[in-house]
């Protein structure tokens, strides 16, 4: 698949998102609503497409220092897209606008008590990122080609759960669920597959 960052790829990603039917979670009423943004932006080489991944500030009360997609808890009456765009502005200083939302993915329930709705957002060329140091330690442009190779995805088991855990290789380490589950489904959607990920568990360190 060609992951060049251009208008043709924007239209392709929008079409794949439009063809995907996101599932809602039946137990959603018991969880706090949240949204994350899968932001398609230019890769470091300025030519390929990437997604924006952050390292959360270590001083944050929850999940400090972990890999994350921009996002947060939904305010009362706020849509998932509205939350994702607001959090993008608060965390990274980006203001892509409602028209840049390409689609939604499945609800993903987390062990820490949240129901995450992923929102796919097109950042546009030359998007200027200004991280909020109180929330974001660093921002990384992860090329889509590095997330779609044959060795990018792996599944592991842990003694605390009978459900497998999905993880994505990143350099010499891994991105774990829930972030890995959301990104994995996005890559699958781009490939035209209706892969569901809600049954993948998270590692124990992400349960709190």
pLDDT in tens, 116-153: 999 999 998 888 899 988 888 899 999 999 998 888 99
Query: Does any domain span residue 164?
Result: no
Query: Does any domain span residue 169?
Result: no
Q: Alpha-carbon torsion 53, 58, 59, 64, what sign?
A: positive
Would you state the pLDDT for residue 107? 96
Query: In sequence order, what are the beta bridge partners of 1?
Result: none
Which whole number is the average pLDDT over 181-187? 97
Radius of gyration of the chain (CA): 16
CB 53 within 8 A of CB 138: no
Cβ neighbours of residue 195 closer than 8 Å, sequence gap 6 or more: 184, 185, 188, 189
Q: Which residue has the tokens 């820490």?
A: 112
* pLDDT tier for residue 58 given thresholds of 50, 70 and 90: low
CA distance 26 to 68: 25
Count of structural domains, the chain: 1
Q: Which CATH number is 47's domain given?
A: 3.90.79.10
Would you state the pLDDT for residue 145? 93
CA angle in degrees (0–180, nearest 5) for 61-142-9: 125
Query: Does any domain span residue 1?
Result: no
Evaluate if residue 50 carries a pLDDT over 70. Answer: yes
Would you state the pLDDT for residue 65? 63
Query: Does any domain span residue 195?
Result: no
* Residue 115: closest CA among 207, 18, 24: 24
Domain that holds residue 44: 7-148
* pLDDT tier for residue 30 given thresholds of 50, 70 and 90: confident
Render pLDDT for 75-117 as a digit per residue (tens, 0 to 9): 999 999 999 999 999 999 999 877 899 999 999 999 989 999 9
Strand, helix or coil at 22? Answer: coil
Beta strands in 57-135 (DSSP E): 67-68, 71-73, 101-104, 108-109, 114-122
Q: Tell me the whole-structure pTM to 2 decimals.
A: 0.93
Evaluate if residue 196 carries a pLDDT over 90. Answer: yes
Query: Does any domain span residue 161?
Result: no
Query: Does any domain span residue 63?
Result: yes
Query: Does any domain span residue 197?
Result: no
CA distance 70 to 10: 20
User: For the chain, what is the mean pLDDT?
Assistant: 90
* pLDDT tier for residue 59 given thresholds of 50, 70 and 90: low
Render pLDDT for 162-179 as a digit per residue (tens, 0 to 9): 999 999 998 878 999 999
| Element at 111 (helix H, strand E) | none
Query: Does any domain span residue 23?
Result: yes
Beta-carbon count within 10 A of 100 CB: 21
Q: Which residue has the tokens 């009360």?
A: 61
CA distance 39 to 52: 6
């Amino acid at each position: 698949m060609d992951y060049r960052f251009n208008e043709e790829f924007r239209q392709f990603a929008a079409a794949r998102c439009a063809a995907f039917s996101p599932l809602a979670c039946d137990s959603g009423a018991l969880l706090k609503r949240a949204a994350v943004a899968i932001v398609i932006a230019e890769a470091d080489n300025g030519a390929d497409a990437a997604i924006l991944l952050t390292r959360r500030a270590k001083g944050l009360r929850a999940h400090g220092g972990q890999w994350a997609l921009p996002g947060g808890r939904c305010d009362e009456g706020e849509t998932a897209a509205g939350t994702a765009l607001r959090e993008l502005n608060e965390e990274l200083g980006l203001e892509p606008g409602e028209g840049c939302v390409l689609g939604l993915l499945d609800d993903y329930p987390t062990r820490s008590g949240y129901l995450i709705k992923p929102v796919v957002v097109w950042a546009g060329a030359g998007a200027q990122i200004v991280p909020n140091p109180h929330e974001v330690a660093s921002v990384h442009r992860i090329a889509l080609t590095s997330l779609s190779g044959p060795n990018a995805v792996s599944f592991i088991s842990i003694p605390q759960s009978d459900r497998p855990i999905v993880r994505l290789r990143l350099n010499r380490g891994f991105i774990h669920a829930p972030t890995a589950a959301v990104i994995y489904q996005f890559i699958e959607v781009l490939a035209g597959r209706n892969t569901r990920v809600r049954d993948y568990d998270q590692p124990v360190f992400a349960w709190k």
